[in-house]
Amino acid sequence: MEIKTLKGISAQEILNAFNESFSDYFIPFHLSQAQLESKMEADKVAPNLSVGVFENGQLIAFILHGFDIINNEKIIYNGGTGVIPNKRGIGLTKQMYQYILPSLKEKGIDKLILEVISENTQAIRSYQKSGYEVDRELICYKGEITLPLTSTDVEIKELPSYNWDILQTFWDTTPTWQNSINVVNELKASNTSLGAYYQNQLVGYLIYNPTSNRLQQIAIKKTFRQKKVATALIQQLCEKHGNTLSIINVDKASKPLNLFLEKVGLKSFIEQLEMKLHPKRLSTQDGLNT
C-alpha cells in the first residue's frame, strides 16, 4: 500500500472510490462525476492537502480536504472520508492522518473541521484517536413546508448584496462550513437571496441554493422575532421554488431556529457532530506518530 496526496489524481478515480465507500453508508448515496466535482468545488477541496491510500495503483481510501482562511485562521474542512468496504478495520483512516497531519502542521494550519453522523460511533472513535474533539451537535432537516397564509408589515424583496457586518448581527450561532460566509459568497450568482424590510430597514434574510434545493442561511433581527418575518420569507421562497426543501447542520443550540423549522413542517432526518482538531496542539504522542 502507498499513502500520498491526491494531487494529480483524476476526478473519475476519486469518484469510483467515493461511490464504493459510501455504497453501504448510514444513508447510502451515489454521485455523478458532475455532482462530485460540484461538491469538491463548494467544499474548496485542495488535492495537495487531501490524502489517499493506493493498493496496486487503485485508490481504496481517501480524505478530501477543503482549505480556506476564515477570521485570519487557516482552516481545513474534511469534505469526505471514505474507505472501500473490503479494506475497513485495518486503521487506514488513522494512517492517512498520520501521513498528512505533520504536513498540515508545517503549513501552519490552525484548525481541522468535520461533521460525522452521531450514530457512526466507529468513525467518531477513529477521529478521536487522530486528535479530534466534539465541538457541537447539529441537526439536518428536510420535508414539505406547510404554512397558512399570513399577513405581516414587512416587505420581501431580493437581497441585493451580502452586507455581513449587518447580517451577522442577526445570528445566534455561526453557520457550519457548507453554509459559511465564504461558501455562500461564491454561490451568490446562483443563489436566491431574499431580504425582509420594515420601513426600508433590513430585519431578516434568507439564502437558498436552488441547485441543491437547500436553505443555506436564515436569520431574523432579534427585535423583530415572533413577528412572522421568517414565515414571510419562507412563503416567498416557496412561491418561487416550491414547498420541498432541506437545510443541513443547524446548530442544536439555536433553539429558535430549530423550533421554527419544525413548526413550518420540516423533519429532522439525521443528527451530526461537528468535530475539530488543532494540529498545533498535537505532539508526536498525541496522534502524529502513534
Name the band, by pLDDT with cuts 50, 70 and 90, for residue 287: very low
Sign of CA dihedral 84, 286, 131, 41: negative
Can you give the pLDDT at residue 288?
42
What mean pLDDT is predicted for residues 76-105? 94
Residue 79 belongs to domain spanning: 2-136+274-286
Q: Are residues 93 and 166 in the same domain?
A: no
Whether 86 and 200 share a structural domain: no
215 and 241, same structural domain?
A: yes
- Confidence band of 41 (pLDDT split at 50, 70, 90): confident
In a domain, 58, yes or no: yes
pLDDT of 57 above 60: yes
| 133-145 residue pLDDT tens | 999 999 999 999 9
Residue 67 sits in the same domain as residue 161: no
**Does residue 176 fall inside a structural domain?**
yes
Q: At 290, is the pLDDT very low, low, confident or very high (cuts 50, 70, 90)?
A: very low
- Are 98 and 188 part of one and the same domain? no
pLDDT of residue 220: 97
Under the phi-then-psi rule, with left for phi > 0, alpha for psi from -120 to 50, and beta for the rest, what region is 80? left
CATH code of residue 210? 3.40.630.30
E strand or H helix at 122, and its extent? helix 121-129
Average pLDDT over residues 51-77: 95
Name 228's Cβ contacts closer than 8 Å, sequence gap at least 6: 150, 151, 152
Residue 211 has pLDDT above 90, yes or no: no
Both 13 and 91 in one domain: the answer is yes
Distance from C-alpha of 69 to C-alpha of 51, rounded to nearest angstrom: 20
Select from 145, 180, 219 the least CA-distant residue to 66. 180
Whole-angstrom distance, CA of residue 154 vs CA of residue 202 = 9
Cell of 158: 431580493
Please say if the pLDDT value at position 284 is more than 70: no
Return d(Cα 144, Cα 1) in angstroms, integer. Answer: 47
Which pLDDT score is estimated for 186?
87
Report pLDDT for 212.
Answer: 85
In a domain, 141, yes or no: no
Q: How far apart are CA 262 and CA 60, in angstroms?
A: 40
Residue 283 scores a pLDDT above 90: no
Whole-angstrom Cα distance, residue 101 to residue 104? Answer: 5
Residue with cell 397564509: 149
Quote the percentage of the chain above a pLDDT of 70.
97
Dist. CA 85–CA 22, nearest whole Å: 9
Q: Please tell me whether residues 132 and 12 are part of one structural domain.
A: yes
Q: Which residues contact 237 (CB under 8 A, 6 or more apart)?
A: 192, 194, 206, 208, 215, 245
Domain count, the chain: 2
- On average, the pLDDT of the chain sits at 92
pLDDT at 150 over 80: no
User: Grid coordinates representing 30?
Assistant: 451515489
Residue 286 has pLDDT above 70, yes or no: no
Q: Measure the CA–CA gap between 142 and 265, rounded to whole angstroms.
A: 9
pLDDT reported for residue 244:
95
Q: For 115-125, what is each residue's pLDDT tens digit?
A: 999 999 988 99
Q: What is the pLDDT of residue 29?
A: 81
In this structure, are residues 133 and 267 in contact, taking their beta carbons and an 8 Å threshold? no
Position 269 in a domain: no
Lowest mean pLDDT among 210-224, 253-267, 272-286: 272-286
Calculate Rg over the CA atoms of the chain: 20
| Claim to verify: residue 8 and residue 118 sit in the same structural domain | yes
Q: How confident is the model at residue 282 (pLDDT cuts 50, 70, 90)?
A: low
What is the reported pTM? 0.88
Pair 214, 278 in one domain: no
Separation CA 273–CA 265 (nearest Å): 23
Do 25 and 132 fall within a single domain? yes
Buried b (16+ CB within 10 A) or exposed e, 195-228: bbbbeeebbbbbbbbeebebbbbbbbbeebbebb
Residues 6 and 130 in one domain: yes
* 103 in the same domain as 14: yes
> What's the pLDDT tens digit per position in 93-108?
999 999 999 999 999 9
